Chains A and B, each alone.
Chain A
Amino acid sequence: DTEVTQTPKHLVMGMTNKKSLKCEQHMGHRAMYWYKQKAKKPPELMFVYSYEKLSINESVPSRFSPECPNSSLLNLHLHALQPEDSALYLCASSPWTSNAGELFFGEGSRLTVL
Chain B
Amino acid sequence: RKEVEQDPGPFNVPEGATVAFNCTYSNSASQSFFWYRQDCRKEPKLLMSVYSSGNEDGRFTAQLNRASQYISLLIRDSKLSDSATYLCVVNPKGFQKLVFGTGTRLLVSP
- Tell me if chain B binds chain A: yes
Partner of B95 from A99, A103, A104, A108 at Cβ < 8 Å: A99
Known: A42-B87, A98-B95. A103 touches B100 (CB 8 A): no
Q: Chain B residues near A75 (CB, 8 Å)?
A: none
Tally of contacts, chain A with chain B, CB under 8 A: 59
Q: Which of A24-70 contact B (CB under 8 A)?
A: 31, 33, 41-43, 45, 48, 50, 55-56
Q: Inside 8 A of B95's CB, which chain A residues have their CB?
A: 98-100
How many residues of chain A have a CB within 8 Å of chain B? 27
User: Could you tell me how many residues of chain B have their Cβ less than 8 Å away from some Cβ of chain A?
Assistant: 22
Residue numbers in B under 8 Å from A101 (CB-CB): 32, 34, 49, 91
| Chain A, Cβ-Cβ closest to B87 | A42
Known: A100-B91, A101-B34, A101-B91. A107 touches B43 (CB 8 A): yes
Q: Can you give 6 contacting A-B residue pairs, CB < 8 Å? A: A2-B43, A43-B100, A55-B96, A101-B49, A102-B46, A107-B42
The chain B residues found within 8 Å of chain A, CB to CB, are 31-32, 34, 36, 41-46, 49, 87, 91, 94-98, 100-103
Question: Would you list the 8 A-B pairs with minimal beta carbon distance, nearest first?
Answer: A42-B100, A105-B43, A100-B96, A48-B96, A99-B94, A100-B98, A102-B46, A107-B43
